[in-house]
């Protein structure tokens, strides 16, 4: 999913505040402006025939246009005119509409959606067979919406139940689930930390094109109850760039020294209870955490560190990576099928960097990652407090942050007073 378009080109047509637009569960019929998703309108004209064709995996633009009879010098003329078309960077699957006069075998108009907000049309100028291009901008409007749901089996399932297709298509709901998981990447492992019945509420931007398509934009604020304890996230961006990202109700960054899990949520099976149950995992007093995942799933370093071991171990670990972090902490990643190319002891790795891939080497009964978190040499079950403290919003920005948080909170939880909730003393 290209993310570049998400960040720019939006036309902000006014932001609807949550109060009147609360979307909860099955109240979808309440939307007055709800309408089905529609493909770009195709003009039905008896004089023309129009076909849709896609760029194949090993094809070039010339192959696609040849299907419309545009070849040779005609193709060269087309290329000369279609300056907005990135001919060498077209992705397989890209759709082209070719239109021809029914009385003619050669296409006279080619239309392609360059991005969610740009459509290119190249048409024959006239009888001299020259071509002209027109780039059309498709406006997207942003609506601010709130979604709240209870998670019974997974975050995906909860979103599927709470959000209708007409509101946000399935692929976009998945993007939303990933975005929520990304916000809480240091704080919550959505496959292990959530209990059935935990609730989440998210304030998000939903984009709608002038042609009725709907997409997820970005998360602005969220509350996730983790084993019944609320965890807030508020997006804050300082105009000077002094602070950007998600902060909790007390203005501390959700970013921590350690990620909550070495596998990215979007890469693993989502159901709660999908954790790996070792049958023959008696190779040592089990002091790690096992993550079920498919062979080859990328394994990421949970924190910045130095590689201390990389290779095959004789014990139960199989292919193992060990990293050293500050404060006497080490992390281990076992049963790997392989290592990131060129990974060597002594090398520095960054948080989130792919260091290896899930496998079933060593004493393992199926593909899974064995992850250990060692403090001063002792394996511990990493708790959220071990993830490190989040950096607070800079002192000079606290007033700005408080105002931004209060505004978001009023939309996230409109029934509650604007004052921030009392934070539980956790550290
Ligand atoms: Zn294990």
| pTM of the shown model | 0.77
* Contact yes or no for 396/390 (Cβ under 8 A): no
285 CA to middle of ligand 1, Å? 9
For residue 287, name the pLDDT band (cuts at 50, 70, 90): confident
281 CA to middle of ligand 1, Å? 7
pLDDT at 39: 52
For residue 419, name the pLDDT band (cuts at 50, 70, 90): low
Taking the CB of residue 104, how many other CB atoms lie within 10 A of it?
12
Percentage above 70 pLDDT, the chain: 81
* Distance from C-alpha of 275 to C-alpha of 377, rounded to nearest angstrom: 25
For residue range 231-249, what is the model confidence (pLDDT) as tens digits? 999 999 987 777 789 999 9
For residue range 314-353, what is the model confidence (pLDDT) as tens digits? 878 999 999 999 989 999 999 999 999 999 999 999 999 9
For residue range 377-418, what is the model confidence (pLDDT) as tens digits? 888 877 766 677 889 999 999 999 999 999 999 999 987 555
372 CA to middle of ligand 1, Å? 8
Q: Same fold for the domain at 20-32+140-247 and the one at 48-137?
A: yes
197 CA to middle of ligand 1, Å? 28
158 CA to middle of ligand 1, Å? 29
pLDDT at 43: 56
Query: When comparing pLDDT for 12 and 122, which is higher?
Result: 122
286 CA to middle of ligand 1, Å? 6
344 CA to middle of ligand 1, Å? 23
For residue range 151-198, what is the model confidence (pLDDT) as tens digits? 998 999 999 999 998 889 999 999 999 999 999 999 999 988 888 999
* 294, HSE (Cβ side, Cα atoms, 13 Å): 9
For residue range 70-83, what is the model confidence (pLDDT) as tens digits? 999 999 999 999 99
C-alpha dist (Å) from residue 277 to 191, 318, 336: 14, 18, 17
The C-alpha angle 425, 218, 405, rounded to 5 degrees, equals 35
**What is the third-level CATH fold of 20-32+140-247?**
Nuclear Transport Factor 2; Chain: A, (3.10.450)
pLDDT at 78: 95
pLDDT at 5: 35
Judge whether residue 117 has pLDDT over 70.
yes
* Architecture of the domain whose range is 48-137: Roll (3.10)
When the candidates are 2.40.30.10, 2.70.150.10, 3.40.640.10, 2.70.70.10, the CATH number that belongs to 265-387 is 2.70.70.10
The length of the chain is: 427
pLDDT at 169: 93
**Phi, psi dihedral angles at 331 (to 5 degrees):** -125, 145
For residue range 350-363, what is the model confidence (pLDDT) as tens digits? 999 999 999 999 98
Query: When comparing pLDDT for 14 and 363, which is higher?
Result: 363
For residue range 193-214, what is the model confidence (pLDDT) as tens digits? 888 999 999 999 999 999 899 9
277 CA to middle of ligand 1, Å? 9
Nearest to 223, CA basis, from 204, 237, 242: 204
Judge whether residue 47 has pLDDT over 50.
yes
Q: Where are the domains of the chain?
A: 20-32+140-247, 48-137, 265-387
For residue range 84-94, what is the model confidence (pLDDT) as tens digits? 999 989 999 99
pLDDT at 32: 34
Instruction: Provide the mean pLDDT of the chain.
Output: 83
349 CA to middle of ligand 1, Å? 23
88 CA to middle of ligand 1, Å? 47
* Distance from C-alpha of 123 to C-alpha of 340, rounded to nearest angstrom: 48
342 CA to middle of ligand 1, Å? 25
């Amino acid at each position: 999913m290209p993310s570049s378009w998400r960040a720019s080109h939006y036309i902000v047509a006014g932001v609807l505040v949550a109060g009147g637009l609360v979307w909860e569960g099955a109240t979808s019929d309440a939307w007055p402006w709800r309408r089905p998703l529609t493909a770009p309108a195709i003009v039905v004209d008896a004089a023309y025939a129009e076909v849709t064709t896609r760029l194949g995996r090993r094809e070039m633009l010339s192959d696609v246009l040849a299907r419309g009879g545009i070849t040779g010098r005609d193709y060269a003329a087309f290329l000369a005119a279609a300056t907005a078309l990135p001919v060498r960077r077209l992705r397989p699957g890209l759709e082209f509409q070719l239109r021809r006069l029914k009385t003619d075998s050669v296409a006279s108009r080619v239309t392609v959606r360059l991005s969610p907000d740009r459509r290119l049309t190249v048409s024959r100028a006239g009888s001299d067979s020259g071509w002209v291009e027109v780039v059309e901008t498709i406006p997207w409007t942003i609506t601010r919406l709130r979604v709240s749901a209870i998670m019974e089996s997974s975050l995906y399932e909860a979103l599927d139940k709470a959000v209708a297709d007409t509101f946000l298509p399935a692929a976009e709901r998945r993007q939303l689930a990933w975005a929520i998981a990304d916000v809480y990447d240091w704080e919550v492992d959505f496959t292990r930390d959530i209990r059935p019945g935990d609730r989440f509420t998210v304030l998000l931007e939903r984009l709608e094109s002038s042609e009725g398509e709907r997409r997820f934009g970005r998360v602005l604020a969220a509350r996730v109850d983790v084993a019944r304890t609320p965890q807030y996230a508020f997006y804050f961006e300082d105009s000077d760039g002094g602070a950007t990202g998600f902060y909790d109700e007390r203005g501390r960054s959700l970013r921590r020294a350690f990620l909550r899990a070495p596998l990215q949520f979007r890469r693993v099976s989502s159901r709660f209870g999908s954790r790996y149950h070792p049958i023959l995992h008696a190779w040592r007093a089990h002091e790690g955490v096992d993550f079920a995942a498919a062979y080859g799933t990328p394994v990421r370093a949970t924190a910045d560190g130095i590689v201390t071991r990389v290779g095959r171990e004789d014990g139960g670990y199989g292919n193992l990576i060990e990293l050293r972090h500050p404060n006497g902490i080490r992390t281990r990643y076992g049963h790997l099928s392989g290592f990131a190319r060129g990974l060597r002891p002594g090398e520095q790795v960054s948080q989130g960097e792919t260091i290896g891939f899930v496998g079933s080497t060593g004493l393992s009964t199926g593909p899974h990652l064995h992850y250990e978190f060692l403090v001063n040499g002792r394996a511990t079950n990493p708790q959220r407090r071990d993830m490190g403290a989040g950096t607070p919003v800079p002192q000079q920005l606290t007033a700005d942050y408080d105002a931004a948080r209060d505004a978001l909170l009023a939309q996230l939880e409109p029934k509650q007073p604007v004052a921030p909730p009392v934070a539980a003393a956790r550290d």
